[in-house]
Structure 1
Amino acid sequence: MSLRSRLLSRKTAGARLSVRGFDAIDVRVLGTEDGTHALHLPRHAPEIRKLHREKGMIEMPDGSTHEGMLMAIEGKNRRMLSDRMQFLIDGLPGGSQKRQWTRVPVVIPVRVGVNPQRRDWREGWTVDLSAGGALIGGVQAGKPGSTLRVQFSLPDHDERLVCVGAVTRISDAGLRALRWTAIDAADRQIITDYLDNELRRVLDRRYAS
């Protein structure tokens, strides 16, 4: 049974998704992991391409609400799945991270190379990023232990960063956790400086509210 079939066969929770410009959408939450809700959308929902990268709010069955961003999921032939999306929750990294590098939740478009020699590049995004690795969504490629090549540019930076990462695990939602195995020292410092500023900005915004 495929991952998608297993997820849909589970007992799922209903939630309400609100996106500016659209009526509220009743969705099913297939699972939550790493600050991401995997959602199943009803047939009458707006087209995925219209919701992709839109900010919104989700109200969970327990009454809690989360702000975040909707991201489409790559399916066969690299087309967007018509009834599945991921909702990336806005927030701060957890207070008890057992990692050398602090993860910061940022959404940045990336190009992922499964086999660079064949120019087999896929389009994805970061769920979170650190100077030691990243959590990547939107790419259905790369098994645990395999190596992926990742290209991206940070906001307000012209430099294109190239990192090589080993897939350490795959979440139920299909997210790939990568640990950088090859990264230029200057690129690592650029990432560190950017994330320090981003974390400071998020903290300032939170305390101001």
Structure 2
Amino acid sequence: MAIIHRAQLNPSKNDLLRAWVPTQPWLGSVDCSTLERVDAYRFDDPDGEVGIETHLLRTADGRILQVPLTYRGAPLAGADAALIATMDHSVLGKRWVYDACCDPVYVTALATAILTGGTGVELVFADSGDHIPVTAHVVGSGTAGAPVPAVESVTCSTVGTDTIISAGDLELTVVRVIDADRVSGSATLTGTWPGQTTPALLVTVA
């Protein structure tokens, strides 16, 4: 499960995303003059150090963007190019926010979910233990207990509106601009959220 703090953030996640997303090469011709948060889903860092959250945003022309972020309590060595911003968190202090596609912790969590048939995690408030309703549901196509290659280094590239992640024996394709009709024969992560009841392709693994 992911532990959520009731906190003030400066800048807010929405402000951070609205500043960063329009500069990204994977947008293609998408009109992101406005961005509206639709939903989000999370994976868990087994070590409890890195927050992993994927945002789903609606653009001005009605497309859905997928924007994974990681939140860290210290800089990630060698990942300056993937740093989006720093954020002041009223409970946890200064946080370094990264494009998660370039973060080995995210890549490991994502590959594990896909290859082992995993899902997004439950959300729980740190101060009360109350569960937070989850409305974005993701699931991997694999089977429990399947092997997951180790992730030691990560490189990212852009192909059209996808981000290609190379990590040792793994190659993952993160769909940045969701196409509800897109299909793949590879190992996949698919998801649903309010307004998207048919599972949409989010990530593939080759």
**TM-score normalised according to structure 1 size:** 0.33
**TM-score normalised according to structure 2 size:** 0.33
Q: Rg bigger for which structure?
A: 1
